[in-house]
Structure 1
Amino acid sequence: MTVALVTGATQGLGLALVEGLAQRLEPADTVYLTGRNIDRITEAVRSMPGGGARVRGELLDVADPDAAARLAAQLEERHGGIDVVFGNAVMRVGPDDDPRAIIDTYTEVNNFGTTRLLKAFAPLLNDNGRLVVVASSLGTLHHLAPVLHRRFTRPSTLDELDEQIARWRDEVKDGRARAGAWPGFVNIPSKIGQVAAVRVLADERRENDLARGILIAAACPGMINTPTSALWWDVSTAPAPAQAATALLDLALEPLNPAHYGELVRHGEVVPFS
């Protein structure tokens, strides 16, 4: 029996990932559709077409410091382990948002939420398991001033990386980031932080994971036609979430390519971090 979980799954790409997993897996398998609002979770589960794997809704607010560990413990007791995890929960930011006003919640969801998910679910991965963090090609160092690169390459543990994210958050809040070398678009350091988190965890686990057929990676789905993306770019010709989900589902369900381990992958190709 295969057990899968998707965070941030009540709409958009996350919902498409749940539907795609359910369609590709078997009736004996289970896909957990998670989010932070029980009404939206219930509605999303009801929207699933019939057939394929069973879809179950579970509350998971990645901004809650204890939520990922709590759900991981429940699923370990229920199933003994997990086979596929997509970390897709994200707080969106619009052009009119003041970074200083939103940066606390933004990092709590996008960055600390990612490291909590990695810490909670990586230990539960079964042989041939997959843990994929949905990120972006913005999450590479060539989008960042060289003077800042060591903030994301020096940490050797997730806790150390969290400290660097907290540093950046505080610099955004007090204005030092705007006066310094940081890009004004907070999505760039945040995505770099997510990819760096995957790389740090992969460095800790690489030898054992590859021996067990496990993949830990970040994935870029590319531009997607969603209302949030439309605030920033012309997405009229971009793929719909269901189309964008295809490459991510392939990454999670097809045979392991060791070259993808610990990397940012876009449409089956590694996007160099630096």
Structure 2
Amino acid sequence: MTVALITGATQGLGLALVEGLAQRLEPTDTVYLTGRDANRVMTAVRSMPGGGARVRGELFDVADPRAAQQLADQIEERHGGIDIVIGNAVMRVGPDDEPREIIDHYTQVNNFGTTRLLRAFAPLLRDNGKLLVVASSLGTLHHLAPVLHERFTTPSTLDEIDEQIARWRDAVKDRRVSAWPAFVNIPSKIGQVAAVRVLAHQRREEDARRGILIASVCPGMINTPTSALWWDVSTAPTPAQAATAVLDLALDPVKPEQYGELIRDGEVIPFS
């Protein structure tokens, strides 16, 4: 029996990932649809078409420091482990948002939420399991001033990644941004990709033996209302279309060259 979990799954790409994954799996399998609002989770579960895996709603606020471990403990008790985890929860920002006002919650969701997810669920992965973090091609050092590169290349633990994100957060709050890009998505996405790389480095040998994939994934531009605030997305793929490549990565046999990397449409995007 396959057990899967998707975070940030009540709308957009997350909802499409749940629906697509459930349709590709069997009735004996379970896909957890998670979100931080009970009514939206219930509505999303009810919107699922019949057939395929069972879709089970679960409250999960990734900004809550205790929530990831609590949910991981519950899933371990129910199932003994997990096969697929896709971290998709994200706090979206618009052009009119003031970075100093949103940066605390933004980092709690996008960055500390990611590292807590990695810590809690990586130990539960069964053989041939997949742990994917939805990031972006913005999460590469190409988009960051060279003077800042070592902030994300030298850490060797998730705690050290968290420390770098906290330093960036505090710089934004204190208006000491200096070389940091004004667009908060860039350091945030780089932090997510760097966290995946650090965890993968720690687990590489054992995961290779067990057929496990840990990676970040770029779904590309998606036609959503939030993306439309920043770019012309009229010709971009729908969430359902963008979900296809992510689901392929989650279900296809592991390719060793993808381990620990940022993947888009099956291809590695170099971090530096």
Partner of 1:189: 187
Report SS of the residue matched to 2:186: helix
Report SS of the residue matched to 2:52: coil
Residues 186-237 of structure 1 deviation map (CA, whole Å, 9 limit, x = unaligned): 0000000000000000000000001100000000000000000000000000
Report SS of the residue matched to 1:128: strand
1:56 is aligned to 2:80: no
Residues 92-126 of structure 1 deviation map (CA, whole Å, 9 limit, x = unaligned): 01000000000000000000000000000000000
Partner of 2:127: 127
TM-score (structure 1 length as normaliser): 0.99
TM-score (structure 2 length as normaliser): 1.00
Give the Cα separation in 1 of the matches to 2:161 and 2:186: 16
Give the Cα separation in 1 of the matches to 2:19 and 2:209: 30
Partner of 1:242: 240
1:110 is aligned to 2:106: no
Partner of 2:140: 140
Partner of 1:270: 268
Aligned amino acid, residue 132 of structure 1? L
Runs of 4+ in 1 over 2 A off after TM superposition: none
Structure 1 residue 79 displacement after superposition: 0.1
Give the Cα separation in 1 of the matches to 2:115 and 2:159: 8
Tell me the percent identity. 82
Aligned amino acid, residue 146 of structure 1? P
Partner of 1:18: 18
Aligned amino acid, residue 258 of structure 1? P
Partner of 1:157: 157
Give the Cα separation in 2 of the matches to 1:81 and 1:54: 17
Give the Cα separation in 2 of the matches to 1:21 and 1:131: 14
Structure 1 residue 15 displacement after superposition: 0.2
Give the Cα separation in 1 of the matches to 2:249 and 2:137: 16
User: Aligned residue pairs: how many?
Assistant: 272
Structure 2: segments with no counterpart, 5+ residues: none
Report SS of the residue matched to 1:218: strand
Structure 1: segments with no counterpart, 5+ residues: none
Aligned amino acid, residue 109 of structure 1? V
Report SS of the residue matched to 1:176: coil
